[in-house]
Amino acid sequence: MTADSETFSVSFEFFPPKSDEMEGQLWDTVDELALWDPRFVSVTYGAGGSTKAPTINTVRRLVGETSLVTAAHLTCVDATHEETHSVVSEYRAAGIRHIVALRGDPASGVGTEYRPHPQGYANAADLVRGLTELGGFDISVSAYPEKHPESADLGADIEMLKRKADAGAARALTQFFFDNDVFERYLEKVRAAGIPIPIVPGIMPIQNLTQLKRFAGRCGSSVPSFLDARFEGLDDKPEDRAKVAADIAAEQIEDLIRRGLGDFHIYTMNRAPLVSAVLQRLGRRQIRTPRIAAA
């Protein structure tokens, strides 16, 4: 790989831990990935606020114990305005100034009918507008190169993205994808719709292809057949699988750089080795000291 580390920036997504073991893994991952000098890191927020406490605890620790710019996800599903504003107040008190504003999946599960809370925000665009009115936040939103599973078509999806941008979103972070031609066609449609904000490609290094296929089916991302060919015969060869996974993600990013993209949002799955291997292949340089605050 020949990409110059100065030609692109990265951000990382983490999820709040559900056990002591997972918490240890998360902070080991944060320590290692901080060396790659991310533009920011984000922490997810479960459907209906199901991970509210772990999310807030995680972002508090990131802000208090590291110098990483930290973004917190926020959903409005199954919540009143008052409940949503309460979380925003906790974020603000914790030092969070960047929110990833999402509608969120119903607590009853992906694929079930979404119904706005009668005393809450109707959708992500409405939530962005509310955050803009509250003031003081940099706002990111989601985008779907292959459309959101619940959208009638890609046009409706792009119209919703425009509403989010018009309401005050500063950038959109995409769902992961593997076909860069699909992303490029999507970006052309987004620009034709008059949406000027940066569209940051979401990159998913493949930790486990079988699990990825199940996950992709729920979130509307396709898994091209060439991925099966790349991993063929490697079921019992974990080291070779890891090398192929790092090559695939690095090749995807390098191709997107050639197409003029410069920012990438990497879904880490709270695991550092594969993400680090991808960035090493791209020639990105680690900073001399990690961006971890002194004790």
Q: Which residues are catalytic?
A: 13
Q: Choose among 147, 145, 149: nearest CA to 181.
A: 145
**Phi–psi pair at 250, nearest 5 degrees:** -65, -40
Distance, CA of 232 to CA of 70 (rounded, Å): 38
Distance, CA of 47 to CA of 16 (rounded, Å): 13
Distance, CA of 236 to CA of 233 (rounded, Å): 8
The residues, any chain, with a CB within 8 Å of residue 89's CB and separated by 6 or more, are: none
Distance, CA of 212 to CA of 223 (rounded, Å): 8
Distance, CA of 47 to CA of 88 (rounded, Å): 16
- Measured over the CA atoms of residue 225, residue 227, residue 233 and residue 235, the dihedral's sign is negative
Residue in the structure block whose two tokens are 């990265």: 10
Say if CB 43 and CB 70 are below 8 A apart: yes
Distance, CA of 249 to CA of 274 (rounded, Å): 9
Say if CB 165 and CB 190 are below 8 A apart: no
Distance, CA of 293 to CA of 70 (rounded, Å): 13
User: In angstroms, how far is CA 120 from the centroid of its own chain?
Assistant: 24
Dihedral angle at the C-alpha atoms of 244, 32, 10, 149, nearest 10 degrees? 60
